[in-house]
Structure 1
Amino acid sequence: MKPPRKLHIKSYGCQMNVYDAQRMVDTLAGEGFVETASVDDADLVILNTCHIREKASEKVYSELGRLRVMKDDAARQGREMKIAVAGCVAQAEGEEIIRRAPTVDVVVGPQSYHHLPQLLARAQAHGRALETEFPVEDKFEFLAPPKPAAIRARGISSFVTVQEGCDKFCTFCVVPYTRGAEVSRPVGKIIDDVMRLADNGVREITLIGQNVNAYHGEGPDGRVWPLGRLLQRLAEIPGIARLRYSTSHPRDVDDSLIEAHRDLPALMPFVHLPVQSGSDRVLAAMNRRHTARDYHEVIDRFRAARQDIAFSSDFIVGFPGETEEEFSATLALVMQIGYAGAYSFKYSPRPGTPAADMRETVSAAEMDERLVRLQDLIDSQQSAFNKAMIGKTVDVLFERAARNPGQIVGRTAWLQPAHVMASPDIIGQVLPVTIESLERYSLLGELALPVARPQPSPFSQMTTGA
């Protein structure tokens, strides 16, 4: 029997890339590959790239330079190492990667990774392989279920892709060009995936998509189902304790989604809802298709449905032409909404997007100063939100052993890590925890009730540090 070949994947960026990396592992398992955390002895290294962040391409080429040295060293030792570039940088710059990085064997876009076995065979026969088409429906049709052993190895929480692509065409964003138009998976296939995960011990499902609440998949009744109806159905699956979804667009929050938050205890009261700016002029220049008031009204609808709901968001600082007054509108919006956390970035142009041609740039110094002010405000809100948990008893889904001996870590409904001293037998359970203190962003507490010793979950032997 041939020894298994070792596969190392380095993923950048969003949750979609994390999910895609897992499915690459599943896809290549049938070709005799097993995943390794070390790049040093890998037979195949895949860089699963993201094109959202600044200088994403150059970071890829820098990493490829390091891998070229490792590939040459492996060849001198008589061992063959293959290198593949996947993801959105591959989609956007496939030909350029082939030209600039001769060490790369395979370039594959995010909609084509299910062709990896064929591409590797093509590279073996012809030297190199490139595929960056947009066959999203073909990819969704291919999505074979991971093996139970793979599910258990990944833990009690799992991502499930339900939607890909985006039709919004925000002027700063490359996603419509690298991931394509919005496409949704059929409801039946999603149900099958979630039932299989639940049967293998997964307790929490996060539905993901570039614009997940634009979901419009075909239901078993032949009708189009929105995300809210899909969530209603998934909440009925035995074993699934928690449901989440990410990332949403304010324009696609419909009544069915609000009702799901009102009616489903399994749907967690935490929503990531990017706004990007508090200025209506900047929002229009971004082609966000909503105003600050529209965003406030969506928040109010969520809060009317569930009073304990909390929010995170995305912000871009220094979009072309942003004035100090317009930036102040963003600070005012943050003050008015109150966030449990948020991601904030300085604007950087993406080649091929409309904003890249806008001439009224904001200086680097102004962007730096504004970003500090915004992040200080967001950090203060997050800190206040976390401190408010002290003395309360909240439900925690326990995930794994923590770094400190005897500690088990899980997450609250609002995604805060919570640590208790307990037996690993509680992994996979949702239990009440009384929060006693806060250590940076982690909550520390103790189990609120005596826990009867259960049968160990499939994950109780996991010892990965938090």
Structure 2
Amino acid sequence: MRKAALHNLGCKVNSYETEAMQQLLESAGYEIVPFAEGADVYIINTCSVTNIADRKSRQMLHRAKKMNPGAVVVAAGCYVQAAGEELKKDEAVDLVIGNNKKTELVSILEDYFAQNKAAEEETVIDISHTTEYENLSISRPGDHTRAFVKVQDGCNQFCSYCIIPFTRGRVRSRKPQEVVEEIRRLAALGYEEAVLTGIHLSSYGMDFPEQERIGLLDLIIKVHEIPQIRRIRLGSLEPRIITEEFAGTLAGLEKICPHFHLSLQSGCDATLKRMNRKYTTKEYLKGCELLRSAFKNPAITTDIIVGFPGETKEEFETTREYLKKLQFYEMHVFKYSVRNGTRAADMPDQIPESVKAERSSELLSLEQEMSLSYRKSHLGSQTEVLMEEEYETDGKRYIIGHTKEYIKAAVPFEEGIKGKVVKGTLWKMLTDEVIFLKC
């Protein structure tokens, strides 16, 4: 029995695909082992979102070969799409498998072992010219207490800083019946929360033939009808999807988690235009207002890039004031990182790293203030918490989990409640990030 070890880099979609590849290997008789010395096959599901992600991908590939020079090292995923020819020349890499070819992992490995070399068939396609959704699926969701389910791939947006449309291709959606079937299987295993994820989730269904056209809202309604599922959480959304109909319909679905990640990137219209984002700050604000009128105190989270090329001090100040006005629950703050192959990489007025670090630090301090304020606004409210893992503070043991709004809450340690939903009142702050749940 051959031993295989897998390592994932990057986003939630990559995590899902890594689990799917692991289950393909298990079904083929491989023994899955930790990513350490002793494996016969190392599979690194790579990321290419930034130059730093490229470097981390290369480092993991070389680390694998160093751990066992006789092992087969497989580079899979986005970095392969960005640098396939370069990787084929890398002595640390034995096989390259691009996106939309991961389902063929086992047969590609079998061919390799039979011939002691990579097969002649192409394992990296021109991803920008495929309309086929790669039908990877999972029968159980790893070690999670919630089930992440990929429903969509690719992106048509072409933001000026982003390589993803070139590594993931154009929008491709998974058939709704396949999504529902997978979630039914996972629900039957006891999972009570489903998280719908994709590269550009808001575009779900736009690639279907007109007579079969359904959108993300239609898919959510179908998932909502699965009896065993108690919660539905959504991955990152584009602001333009938040219409009165969208927010109002979701508010009428009791299983929907009022936790919405709306990608912003900048609070300055001039910066958004250079980024090639397809909305204005006024349109973004309207989306937040619609969610807050449809739901009681929903959690709205976002992404912000600081130090984008040409971002003046005044533009940064405009962003900071805009963020204060919106009062997010959480913000993921990123320093702009050059990505070769994107328009932004060649833009003038690149910002010094010291300025990026200063701006990032300022927004992270603001994020901590807003986040604590949002948590405190829920004190005294009755809620349900999906219990996930052990937690210790001040020498006391707890089980910690998340509310529907994704607020961390804890109860005294008790065997057998991991993966279960517990009801109670958000009573007091245990730490700045965790609230004690009084049952």
- TM-score normalized by the length of structure 1: 0.86
Over aligned residue pairs, what C-alpha RMSD do you find? 2.3
Q: 1:254 to 1:29 in 2, by over 3 A?
A: farther
Partner-residue secondary structure (3-state), 2:366: helix
Corresponding residue for residue 136 of structure 2:
143
**Residue pair 1:396, 1:411 contacting (<8 A) in 2 also:** yes
**Residue pair 2:410, 2:436 contacting (<8 A) in 1 also:** yes
Shift of 1:422: 4.5
Partner-residue secondary structure (3-state), 2:348: coil
392, 416, 428: which one aligns with 1:436: 428
Corresponding residue for residue 455 of structure 1:
none
Q: 1:326 to 1:193 in 2, by over 3 A?
A: same
Shift of 1:95: 1.1
Whole-Å Cα distance in 1 between the matches of residues 422 and 97 of structure 2? 43
Shift of 1:423: 3.0
Q: After the TM superposition, which of the residue ranges 121-130 and 262-271 deviates more from structure 2?
A: 121-130
**Residue pair 1:229, 1:256 contacting (<8 A) in 2 also:** no
Q: After the TM superposition, which of the residue ranges 430-439 and 109-118 deviates more from structure 2?
A: 430-439
**Do structure 1's residue 331 and structure 2's residue 314 form an aligned pair?**
no
Whole-Å Cα distance in 1 between the matches of residues 207 and 338 of structure 2? 37
**Residue pair 2:338, 2:344 contacting (<8 A) in 1 also:** yes
Trace 1:32-431 onto structure 2 (pairs within 5 A).
32-72=29-69, 75=70, 81-99=71-89, 101-124=90-113, 125-128=115-118, 131-133=123-125, 134=127, 138-140=132-134, 142-146=135-139, 150-151=140-141, 154-216=143-205, 223-402=212-391, 407-431=398-422
Corresponding residue for residue 15 of structure 2:
18
Shift of 1:224: 1.4
Which sections of structure 1, spanning at least 5 residues, go unmatched? Answer: 76-80, 449-466
Which sections of structure 2, spanning at least 5 residues, go unmatched? Answer: none
Q: 1:403 to 1:25 in 2, by over 3 A?
A: farther
Whole-Å Cα distance in 2 between the matches of residues 278 and 221 of structure 1? 36
**AA partner of residue 73 (structure 2):** I
Partner-residue secondary structure (3-state), 2:79: helix
Whole-Å Cα distance in 1 between the matches of residues 372 and 163 of structure 2? 33
**Residue pair 2:7, 2:35 contacting (<8 A) in 1 also:** no
Shift of 1:214: 1.4
Shift of 1:119: 1.8
**Residue pair 2:153, 2:200 contacting (<8 A) in 1 also:** yes
Whole-Å Cα distance in 2 between the matches of residues 9 and 51 of structure 1? 17
**AA partner of residue 25 (structure 2):** L
26, 31, 42: which one aligns with 1:29: 26
Shift of 1:52: 1.6
Q: 1:216 to 1:380 in 2, by over 3 A?
A: same
**AA partner of residue 40 (structure 2):** D
Identity %: 30
Whole-Å Cα distance in 1 between the matches of residues 95 and 245 of structure 2? 43
Number of aligned residue pairs: give it: 431
Q: Deviations over 1:284-314 (max 9, x none)?
A: 1111011111110111111121122121111
Q: Deviations over 1:355-402 (max 9, x none)?
A: 111122112221111111111111211122223344443210123444
**Residue pair 1:401, 1:424 contacting (<8 A) in 2 also:** no
**AA partner of residue 344 (structure 1):** V
Whole-Å Cα distance in 2 between the matches of residues 427 and 361 of structure 1? 48
Whole-Å Cα distance in 2 between the matches of residues 169 and 220 of structure 1? 23
**Residue pair 1:188, 1:220 contacting (<8 A) in 2 also:** no
**AA partner of residue 52 (structure 2):** K
Q: Deviations over 1:306-359 (max 9, x none)?
A: 122121111111111111111111101110111111111111121111111112
Q: 1:329 to 1:218 in 2, by over 3 A?
A: closer
